[in-house]
Each structure stands twice: as structure tokens, then as C-alpha cells.
Amino acid sequence: MSTEPSPSGIPLPPASGAWREGDPPGRRHWHPREKALSLEAGGELPGVRLAFETWGRLAPDRANAVLVLHALTGDSHAAGPAGPGHPSPGWWDALIGSGRALDTDRWFVVAPNVLGGCQGSTGPSSRRPGGRRWGGDFPFLTQRDQVAAEAGLADELGIGRWALVIGGSMGGMRALEWAVTWPERTAALLLLATTAAATAEQIAWANVQLHAIRADPHWRDGDYHDAGPGRGPHAGLGLARRLAHVTYRSEPELAARFGRSPQGAEDPWRGGRYQVESYLDHHAAKLVRRFDAGSYVTLVEAMNSHDIGRDRGGVRTALRRVTARTLVAGVDSDRLYPLSQQRELAAAIPGADGLRLIESSYGHDGFLIEAEQVGALVRELLG
């Protein structure tokens, strides 16, 4: 991160918050793919590699492996403290570890950074063969492309069948793709706050976020990664984050936490902020320092493409391919991925044990925050 000061004295963020060669590796390992990855939309992506982290030990029979799939702005650092190479603590730290629901004394837990991401896996900030960064030339990806890359990682690790595949939101989309594409490789499945196909409303919210990033004059058609500090599309990415974060939370929670209170001594009638505005500013500022706008665009477009029934005879026909023991759970206050979408999954997946409710005031983010309730579902599946 640059230490060049801004006029306020706060160091300017780098053009991209992506992990780069030469940064501390932290707990990451890498899986380089030998062959180019054929893409669903056509063409191929050469030089693919996935960053991933693991916890626990793989059993001699390789039957204790669990795949954990992150949401939009997550990464491979699902557990552990912040530190060199990891700007944030593990996003599911309360779920993974000795004695926790994903007990690392028993299970071998694998969390990859999604293809197209920015924390060590190949994405727009990465260098392509020849040395130039992909930038705006990075190809369009779908969830199926991303899962195909993860299957290569599983092959490299010698894991023929996951004891459990778990994911929420975007991670749930990929978990579902795993269970439909490779039912024989998915023994159990936990789908959290996700859907069988992106809806018009979800695509609409995403469209506004994409326009915010692309309208930033520092976007430069996606070719900004080697610009100086403060010269990335931070305003656009920050605006996208503000909008997304409102959809991730519930109206009652925002009302209870912030109401109409001003931020400290600031006067909203004289250019100051309300507390809720300061809260959104804080999350925007955090994201631009740890994430990449190009990856945000790539991953949001992949989420928009999500349709488990595409070229499979429709959603219901596709979901009948799932053979895993399955639990589907939704957050009762989720307004971005409402319960009706999880009901559809639970009704159509053979053997799914109804719809489970995660009770939370936090909205969509409840699948990340309510670790005790999610942990109970994990224990039910894994025994």
C-alpha cells in the first residue's frame, strides 16, 4: 500500500487493492493450471492459477475434505487473523477451527479465491502470458467457468469427492453448480441465502453498481492497475459498495442502529453526515483498499449470468441432478435474496429437508454473521 499522503494526510489508496506479486503471501497456496481453461462464452483463459488456503489435515482416504466458497468480496482467507498478506480477519473465522462446526481436528477445509478475484487468483489485475496486465481485456466468466477451475484444484489435491460443499450468496451459486455439474463429487451440500438463477431485480441492482464503476473517469476501460496512488476508480467502486451494502442489510437493523442521528458533532443541515452515511463511507473506504474494481465488475457479471438451468432443460430439471444430502437455508430478513428463492431450491432438489430459517435482523449478511445458526446446519450435515 502506498504511503503517499493525500491533502488530508491520510495515505492514498493504491490504484487497486488487489494482492500482487511481491506482497506477503500470508497463508496462501497456489494451484497453477497447466492447460488453458475453455470458457463457456467461448475462447479460453491461459495462465490460470487459483490461490487457496487450507486448515486441518487431509485423511489418508481423502474422504474428509470440505470446500468453502466465498461471496462477492470475500477471498481465500476464511479463517485466521488479519496480518501480512491478509488485510482482513477470516470472514468465517467463527465457523472454522478446532472444536468449531468445521472442526479442523476432523475435517480438511479448503477455501479458494474465486477465478476472476483479486487476492491471488487470476483476475483482471493479474499479468497475462507476456507480462501485461489483463485489465479491460479480461474475458467474461460464468459461475461454471469458476467451478471448472475449482475442480482442477480438487484434482491437484487428490480430492475426488467433497464431504461437504458450502457457500452463501455468490458462494452458494458456485456450490450449487458443483452439485449439479459433478453430483458424484459432492456428498453433502449447504446452500445459504442464494438462488437457482439471478433475478431481474438482482441484475438491476448489479447494473447500477457496474455503471457507477465504469462512469468513474479513473476506470480507463479497465486499464488503470499501474496508475499511481489515488488514481484508481475508487469513487466508482466506493459508490458500488455503498449501494450493495444497503441491499445486504435490513431496514429495521439500519433504523435501530442509526435512526436519524448525526455523525458526532456533524450537522447534516450544514454539510455534515448522518451516522448511516458515515457507516457507508467507512465500508466504501475499506473496500477500495482491499479489493479491485476490475474483479468487482468481473464477479458481478458472473453472478448476473447465474442460471443453473441454462442448457440443462430448465431450473427444475437441472436441480434433479443433485444427489448430495442437502440443506437449504435463507435469512428471514434478507431483501436481496428473499426466502422465496430458497423455497424454490428446497422444493426442487431431491432429498432437500425443507427450508431452514436463519433468524437475523442483519438481512442478507446474516449468513456471515449468524455463525452459531450456520454452524448447527453444518453439524447436522456432517454428523
Residue 1 resides in a domain: no
Residue 16 resides in a domain: no
All three cell numbers of 233, joined, read 476508480
pLDDT of residue 3 exceeding 70 = no
CATH of the domain at 155: 3.40.50.1820
Residue 9 resides in a domain: no
Identify the three-state secondary structure at position 220.
helix
Residue 298 resides in a domain: no
- For residue 134, what are the domain limits? 29-198+307-382
**Tens digits of per-residue pLDDT, 227-260?**
999 999 999 999 999 999 999 999 999 999 999 9
Residue 34 resides in a domain: yes
The number of distinct structural domains making up the chain is 1
**Tens digits of per-residue pLDDT, 300-314?**
999 999 999 999 999
Residue 182 resides in a domain: yes
- The band of 54, judged by pLDDT with boundaries at 50, 70 and 90, is very high
DSSP letter, residue 309: T
Residue 255 resides in a domain: no
d(CA 85, CA 64): 28
Q: For the residues of 150-161, what is the DSSP string, one character each?
A: HHHHHHHHT-SS
Residue 73 resides in a domain: yes
**Tens digits of per-residue pLDDT, 259-283?**
999 999 999 999 999 999 999 999 9
**Tens digits of per-residue pLDDT, 118-173?**
999 999 999 999 999 999 999 999 999 999 999 999 999 999 999 999 999 999 99
Enzyme catalytic residues: 169, 334, 364
d(CA 36, CA 30): 16
Output the 3-class SS for 38-88.
ECCCCCEECCCEEEEEEECCCCCCCCCEEEEECCCCCCCCCCCCCECCECC
